Structure 1
Amino acid sequence: MDAKLKRKWVKALRSGEYRQGRGQLVSDDGKNFCCLGVLADVMGCEWQESTSKFCSTLVPILPRGRKPLAIRGDDFLSVAKTRLRHNVQEKLASMNDDGASFKKIAQFIEDGI
């Protein structure tokens, strides 16, 4: 992962500017974020309502070209060019959804990614 992006992500997780949510990248109202949703937001993605019949939430779109990002498996962050392996994404999502604080997740990112 790019060191500059990693620093921005960790700083955002520790900033208190993002309310933590679970189960999706960002809540339907755009107020609660998963740690991976914070990453997408830090990268400059904008958010739009999903048009998928399988996903009724906000999804990130790339700032250039406005092409929707895939959100299945390792597609989401590989398309976003973070180079986070699928197993790392799953670990982070699990930590987030199991109740680890953003501060704890930020420390994990600094120590292990």
Structure 2
Amino acid sequence: MNVPVIRKWVEALRSGLYKQGTTVLKILPTGQRKLTRFCCLGVLCDLYEQETGNKLDWQSEHFCEKNWLGVCESSLGGVTTITLPDVVRNWAGLSNNDPYVYLTKTEKEIAGGSTETLAELNDAGVKFKSIARAIEVTFLNEADSGMLSQSQYDN
């Protein structure tokens, strides 16, 4: 795992600089840049472009709908979800394109109890600040001190 990248991602989600959207990595209405919205995974894609200077092909064969920018699609439980492209996942050192995270009881309630991946949380309406906390607890605490016990992330 690339801990500095994960820390920047958490900071970006908490910064208030990104407006939250759902369903795709990035929503960019034509001619209205200030209305741009990101999924939490789209924020990581944006950081990838900023940090590496490499541009993602947002309108690749995985293009979702007009003005809705996505990169990689997978099917989870019969629902199509946009997930991280491999190049971004590898850069961040994550083990899969839509990582599972530890949730508090409150986050589970907000998300309807059954969502556990970042894309699912985002699309269920869990706010960026709560998603940042889940990323921090899951990845940064593990990196610093090993696996957490159930009681540490259920509170």
Aligned length: 103
* 1:16-27 alignment runs, 5 A limit: 16-27=16-27
Deviation at 1:75, TM superposition (A): 7.4
Deviation at 1:50, TM superposition (A): 1.9
1:29-64: CA deviations, max 9, x gaps? 2610000000010112646562548622324xxxxx
Cα gap change, 1:17 to 1:52, in 2 (>3 Å): same
Per the alignment, residue 42 of structure 1 pairs with 47
Per the alignment, residue 126 of structure 2 pairs with 100
Percent of aligned positions that are identical: 38
CA distance in 2, matches of 1:3, 1:23: 27
Moved over 6 A (4+): none
Cα gap change, 1:15 to 1:93, in 2 (>3 Å): same
Q: Which runs of 5+ in 1 are unaligned?
A: 60-69
1:66-102: CA deviations, max 9, x gaps? xxxx512397343221232245167000000001110
CA RMSD after TM alignment: 2.7
Contact 2:58 2:69 in 1 (8 A): yes
Structure with greater Cα Rg: 2
**TM-score, length basis structure 2:** 0.56
Letter in 1 for 2:127: S
Per the alignment, residue 64 of structure 2 pairs with 55
